[in-house]
Amino acid sequence: MVLADNLDTIAAIATPIGEGGISVIRISGPSAFATADACFRGRVKLAEAASHTAHFGYIADATGQRLDEVVATVFKSPHSYTGEDVVEVSCHGGAYVTQAILSTFLSLGARLAEPGEFTKRAFLNGKMDLSQAEAVADLIHARSGLSLRSSLSQLQGRLSEQINAVREKLIGTIGLLELELDFAEDGYEFVEKQKAMSDLDEIIGRINKLLDTYKSGKIHRDGVKVVLAGAPNVGKSSLLNQLLNENRAIVTDIPGTTRDVIEENLTINGILFRVIDTAGLRKTADVVEQEGVARTRAKVEESDLVLLVLDASRPAEAPDIEPLSQVAKVIKEGMKACVVAVNKVDLNPTINGKLLQSMSFLKGLPIVRVSALTGHGIDELKQTMVSSTLGGGKQAPESSVLVTNLRHFQAIKRAKEALLLAKESLGRGESSEFVAVDLRSALDSLGEITGVVTTEEILNSIFSKFCIGK
Ligand code: GDP
């Protein structure tokens, strides 16, 4: 384990900048208490206070001027978020006062924390592993019940437990092969190779299970990207408004993230649906509209779910059908989830048989009859959207472990590739040393997830995405 180069004492505002009830300024490191005591005026010295106690007082600046009444909470190493001595000062939540208190800490020798540095120190000091540290960022960014649940499970170390269990098993297998090396001449070889082979099968099986969770794991974490597609005037915008009615998601702009498309967010059964586009689809000579069609196709390609909207009140016309069939092709090729919403059933209560007949490419897709005007069928549409994306509408049980993070997914995939190579070599009767090289490479890939194997590059790329104060 790399030890934190924790000679510096770091400070930062831990709450969002702005006006609010309270704000918290966090200070962590060997001089945390000395720095805080140099400006905190209360009944006790924080350095002498017991860990996990809160103390009322005020903060004074370098000239002795009182800045604010505060409550200082003391956490003594190693029983703190970072594992170091930590003081959290809760002051009134104003942008100026918060900054003034931070400046006072900095003038007393603390250094401004880098993005994610508190959490990085927590990792380096062994308070949490790397996948848990990443879960902190995911939890903070969670925008739906589902993403909250999966990031909390990762924060509590469920993914790490599974990864560690697979690594343990792998270490055992490497041990077997090494044993075989030592006793190669005594006839151990055959038995141990058989055992190593069945161990490898079991490990690959577990790895495959983890890899299989990524699709729904990604949906848990990032939500479902939805494209509403259909000819102009079929009611796409009306339908979106109807869906948003009771389901608008809590969205805050996260500083540092840019969104290149306008996105409407809604949650259904705790799942975040991110509607990324509602472009109209119609074959046309108009160059601008043609671009719209091409754009919709591109959007369909990057979506998780396509909501194809048809109009029950009028027969489909040729200019509508052709682009729809092209979109249907993209859906099938990309194995996208798709729900067909036949809208305006208030105008025509029976599905227009001709409408669907003229579009045989819709065969096999779930079809829901709705009216964006009256709200008819909207609940069924929502449930169909859920079941189409999460397969049968079943959500992963609380206890199940999901891979939600692309970095983890790629590391597990690399581990699998190395394991398959090892299996092949073992099958070919290659020497154990040779097989062990691939097994160790798999072990390292898995270790990157929890951070037992890590590089400065990996750490920087993870923690630089955090905000200052985390
Ligand atoms: P878009 O171009 O596909 O986004 O279609 P709009 O949402 O703008 O709707 C086109 C027209 O159809 C508007 O006049 C809507 O009021 C109307 N409309 C949309 N949905 C329904 C519906 O379910 N029933 C009826 N009767 N009219 C609808």
Cβ-in-10-Å burial (0-12, 13-18, 19+) of 443 comes to buried
- Mean pLDDT calculated for residue range 225-231: 89
Closest ligand 1 atom to Cα of 371: 23
**Average confidence (pLDDT) over 233-237:** 88
CA of 233 to the centre of ligand 1 (A): 6
pLDDT class for 371, splitting at 50, 70, 90? very high
Give CA–CA dist 393/391, Å, rounded. 5
Rounded to an integer, the average pLDDT of 224-228 is 91
- For the chain, percent of residues with pLDDT exceeding 90: 58
Cα of 293 vs centre of ligand 1, distance in Å, is: 20
Round to whole Å and give the CA distance between 100 and 71: 16
> What amino acid is encoded at 411 in this protein?
A
How remote is the CA of residue 237 from the centroid of ligand 1, in Å? 7
Indicate whether 280 pLDDT > 70: no
Q: Is 343 in the pocket of ligand 1 (CB under 6 A)?
A: yes
Top mutation candidate among 233, 240, 374 for ligand 1, by most atoms within 8 Å of CB: 233
> Mean per-residue pLDDT for 386-407?
75
pLDDT, one tens digit per residue, over 123-144 is: 999 999 999 999 999 999 888 8
Cα distances (Å, whole numbers) of residue 377 to 267, 344, 368: 17, 11, 7
Q: How far apart, in whole angstroms, are the C-alpha atoms of residue 290 and residue 295?
A: 9
CA 50 – ligand 1 centroid, Å: 66
Q: Is the CB of 372 under 6 A from ligand 1?
A: yes
Gap between the Cα atoms of 150 and 138, Å rounded:
9
pLDDT at position 181 is 60
Q: Is 90 exceeded by the pLDDT of residue 414?
A: yes
Residue nearest to atom 10 of ligand 1 (CA): 233
Q: Is the pLDDT confidence value at 421 over 80? A: yes
**Cα–Cα distance for residue pair 107/105, rounded to 1 Å:** 5
- pLDDT tens for 341-364 read 999 999 987 765 666 777 888 888
pLDDT band at 185 (very low <50, low <70, confident <90, very high): low
Question: How far away, in angstroms, is 317 Cα from ligand 1 center?
Answer: 17
CA 203 – CA 93 distance, rounded (Å) = 52
**Does residue 214 contact residue 409 with C-beta atoms inside 8 Å?**
yes
Contact between 265 and 275 under an 8 Å Cβ cutoff? The reply is: yes
What's the pLDDT at 119?
A: 96
Query: Between these two residues, 189 and 48, which has the higher pLDDT value?
Result: 48
pLDDT in tens, 16-68: 988 999 999 999 999 999 999 999 999 999 999 999 999 999 999 989 999 99
Tell whether pTM > 0.85: no
Place of tokens 């924080």: 46
Mean pLDDT of the chain, nearest integer: 87
Whether pLDDT at 287 is above 70: no
Q: pLDDT at residue 256 above 50?
A: no
At residue 162 the predicted structure's pLDDT band, cuts being 50, 70 and 90, is very high
Q: What value does the mean pLDDT take over residues 199-225?
A: 93
- Determine the atom of ligand 1 nearest the C-alpha atom of 370: 23
pLDDT above 80: residue 278: no
Confidence band, pLDDT 50/70/90 cuts, at residue 229: confident
Tell me the average pLDDT across 406-425: 97
Ligand 1 near 140 CB (within 6 A): no
The tally of CA atoms less than 13 A away on the side-chain side of residue 387 is 13
Size (the chain), residues: 470
Q: Is 233 in the pocket of ligand 1 (CB under 6 A)?
A: yes
Per-residue 3-state assignment (H helix, E strand, C coil) for the chain = CCCCCCCCCEEEECCCCCCEEEEEEEEECCCHHHHHHHHEEECCCHHHCCCCEEEEEEEECCCCCEEEEEEEEEECCCCCCCCCCEEEEEEEECHHHHHHHHHHHHHCCCEECCECHHHHHHHHCCCCCHHHHHHHHHHHHCCCHHHHHHHHHHHCCHHHHHHHHHHHHHHHHHHHHHHHHHCHHHCCHHHHHHHHHHHHHHHHHHHHHHHHCHHHHHHHHHCEEEEEEECCCCCHHHHHHHHHHHHECCCCCCCCCCCCCCCEEEEECCEEEEEEECCECCCCCCHHHHHHHHHHHHHHHHCCEEEEEEECCCCCCHHHHHHHHHHHHHHHHCCCEEEEEEECCCCCCCCCHHHHHCCHHHCCCCEEECCCCCCCCHHHHHHHHHHHHHCCCCCCCCCCCCCCCHHHHHHHHHHHHHHHHHHHHHHCCCCHHHHHHHHHHHHHHHHHHHCCCCCHHHHHHHHCCCCECC
Average pLDDT over residues 211-239: 89
Mean pLDDT of 310-334: 82
pLDDT interval class at 180 (50, 70, 90): low
Instruction: Please give the number of the atom of ligand 1 that sits closest to the Cα of 240.
Output: 7
For ligand 1, is residue 344 a contact (CB within 6 Å)?
yes
| Residue 1 pLDDT greater than 70, yes or no | no
Mean pLDDT of 151-167: 95
- Which residue from 227, 228, 234, 238 has its CB within 8 A of the most atoms of ligand 1, so it is best to mutate? 238
Choose among 110, 53, 44, 42: nearest CA to 76: 53
